Amino acid sequence: MSLLDCVIVGAGPAGITAAVYAARKRMDFLVVTQDIGGQTALSGDVENYTGYQFITGSELVAKFEEHLKQFGVRLKDDTPVAHIAQASDKTFEVRTPKEVFACRTVIVASGRRPRLLNARGEEAFRNKGVTYCATCDGPLFADKDVAVIGGGNSALDAVLQMVKIAAKIYLVDVNPQLGGDAVMREKVLASDKVEVLNGAVTKEIYGRQFVEGIRLEHKGGVRDLAVAGVFVEIGSVPNSNIIDFVKKNEAGEIVVDNLNRASVPGVFAAGDVTDVPEKQIIVAAGEGAKAVLGVFRYLSQMR
Residue of 45, 137, 181, 275 marked catalytic: 137
With residue 186 as reference, give the H or E element that holds it: helix 182-190
The catalytic position among 35, 133, 181, 275 is 133
Q: Exposed/middle/buried for 70, CB within 10 Å: 0-12, 13-18, 19+?
A: exposed
Is 45 labeled as catalytic in the residue annotation? no
103 is catalytic: no
Name the catalytic one among 77, 136, 224, 244: 136
The answer to whether 6 is a known catalytic residue is no
Return left, alpha or beta for 142; rule: phi > 0 is left, psi -120 to 50 is alpha, else beta.
Answer: beta
Q: Is 220 left (phi over 0), alpha (psi -120 to 50) or beta?
A: left
Instruction: Tell me the β-bridge partners of 29.
Output: 6
Q: Show the beta-strand stretches assigned E in the chain.
A: 3-9, 29-32, 45-46, 55-56, 75-76, 83-86, 92-95, 100-108, 112-114, 130-131, 145-149, 168-173, 194-198, 200-207, 211-218, 221-225, 229-232, 236-238, 267-269
Query: CA-to-CA distance for 188 and 185, rounded, in angstroms?
Result: 5
Handedness of CA 43, 45, 48, 51 (dihedral sign): positive
Catalytic residues: 133, 136-137
